[in-house]
Amino acid sequence: MSLEIDIAHDYGGFALQAQFACAPGLTALFGRSGAGKTTLVNAIAGLLTPQRARISINGRVLADTGNGINVPPHQRRIGYVFQDARLFPHLTVRNNLLYGRFFARRDDDIDFGHIVDLLGIAQLLQRRPATLSGGEKQRVAIGRALLSRPELLLMDEPLASLDGARKDEILPYLERLRDELRLPIVYVSHAIPEVTRLADTVVLLSDGRVQAVGSVEDLTARLDLFPLTGRYEAGAVLNATLVRHDEAWGLSVLQTRAGDVMVPRLERALGTALRIRIRARDVTLALTPPTGTSALNILPGTVAELQPSSEGAPQVEVRLDCHGDTVLARVTRLSADRLDLQPGKPVYAMIKTVALDGGSLGGRGR
């Protein structure tokens, strides 16, 4: 799938100018509130007509203002999942799902049972929306969108209204959706944990402009983007493989290029491909191999870059090269001075195992 976007739209004193192309997989539109994310997906869906636009999916042009093309929303073959589920309250879950099939092409062979199993909603089919939790409602809304047999799925902050427990409930289903259906997805979020867990490609938006496009691993490792991605949640993403379980101590061991990383016991099969998000604030640095420490994860690396958090701030952001993987650390300026941190200096990164909880781990996808 190739989604090509070139949009310019001014409204209410806000100017949106976005030009990018999406690679296959899940593309996250990431940015703070007011960055223009929802306006952009509404333009893709055809709910908004930009002043200038060219939008195409697999070469099929949906909008081209220069040539007078503007395909109506119901003909674009795009599924849309909103922040609130927007289910029909008078219909059962089954009938809400079947409503999506009205918009599918007649020659489509849609496997209702597969979608139901994929989203884990078989036990909900006879219930009505008022009896569902927030996470259950969103899974039904996703199923309804999928049963319309879209070429592209838009998801506009589908977890924003859910609490932490409901988010943890639905994230594995989104991973399955990404990996099993191979359906192109544009996913809007301002939550970095969701983006790092789900995205293949990240489009970073700020003030209506595209600031960067790239893989989740590359963009989370860039210190210059921290003002836009958020320093508090700053961290690096490592690709990993689950290689063994330590049943005696309730731990699992993940293999990365940076070295083996221990995490609390995972209910996953050996060989599972995963992502680990290691937050900069959970990393401590040492100049020599540490001894007598409770930290189980000690990764050797080399300082690649240093950057003050902001002018006059007491913190310094440190980017490490750990055998080709990037690890980020946040230390005080005093610590950086005492360790004489500078590019090229060997160090050891210590990460607490308990800091790598379920919110830091997810399936790697393709």
Number of C-beta neighbours around residue 330 at 10 A? 22
Copy the structure tokens of residue 342: 């500078």
106-140 pLDDT per residue, tens: 555 568 898 999 899 999 999 999 999 999 999 99
| 228 in any annotated domain | no
Q: Is the domain of 254 the same as that of 192? A: no
Strand partners, 203: 29, 213
Instruction: Characterize the bridge pairing of strands 78-81 and 152-156.
Output: parallel
Q: Is the domain of 43 the same as that of 190? A: yes
CA atoms within 13 A on the CB side of 14: 15
End-to-end CA distance of the chain: 14
Mean pLDDT of 186-191: 90
294-336 pLDDT per residue, tens: 999 999 999 999 988 766 778 899 999 999 999 999 999 999 9
| 17 in any annotated domain | yes
| 230 in any annotated domain | no
Structural domain that includes position 154: 3-220
Kindly write down the DSSP assignment for every residue of 16-59, as one continuous string.
Answer: EEEEEEEPSSEEEEE--TTSSHHHHHHHHHTSS--SEEEEEETT
| 164 in any annotated domain | yes
User: CB neighbours of 317 closer than 8 A, spacing ≥ 6?
Assistant: 223, 226, 231, 234, 280, 306, 307, 308, 309, 328, 329, 330
| 334 in any annotated domain | yes
* Contact predicate 121/93, CB 8 Å: yes
Cα(230)–Cα(207) distance, rounded to whole angstroms?
A: 15
pLDDT score, position 167: 86
User: Whole-model pTM above 0.85?
Assistant: yes
Identity of the amino acid at 189 = S
Cα(171)–Cα(363) distance, rounded to whole angstroms?
A: 10
User: CB neighbours of 49 closer than 8 A, spacing ≥ 6?
Assistant: 43, 63, 70
Q: Is the domain of 216 the same as that of 248? A: no
Q: Is the domain of 190 the same as that of 248? A: no
Q: Is the domain of 23 the same as that of 151? A: yes
| 229 in any annotated domain | no
31-75 pLDDT per residue, tens: 888 899 999 999 999 999 999 999 998 889 999 999 999 999 989
User: CB neighbours of 77 closer than 8 A, spacing ≥ 6?
Assistant: 57, 148, 149, 150, 151, 152
Q: Is the domain of 31 the same as that of 176? A: yes
Q: Is the domain of 296 the same as that of 169? A: no
Domain boundary among 166, 197, 220: 220
pLDDT band at residue 87 using 50, 70 and 90 as cut-offs = very high
DSSP class of 177: H
Cα(46)–Cα(38) distance, rounded to whole angstroms?
A: 12
Q: Is the domain of 100 the same as that of 163? A: yes
The CATH number of residue 322's host domain is: 2.40.50.100
Q: Is the domain of 165 the same as that of 290? A: no
Q: Is the domain of 192 the same as that of 251? A: no
Kindly write down the DSSP assignment for every residue of 205-235, as one continuous string.
Answer: EETTEEEEEEEHHHHHT-GGGHHHH-STT-E
How confident is the prediction for the chain on average, in pLDDT? 89
Q: Is the domain of 50 the same as that of 190? A: yes
DSSP class of 366: -
Cα(294)–Cα(301) distance, rounded to whole angstroms?
A: 20
The CATH number of residue 181's host domain is: 3.40.50.300
Domain count, the chain: 2
Residue 286 pLDDT greater than 90, yes or no:
yes
| 173 in any annotated domain | yes
pLDDT score, position 359: 67
Q: Is the domain of 79 the same as that of 48? A: yes
Q: Is 79 helix (H, G, I), strand (E, B) or coil?
A: strand
| 18 in any annotated domain | yes
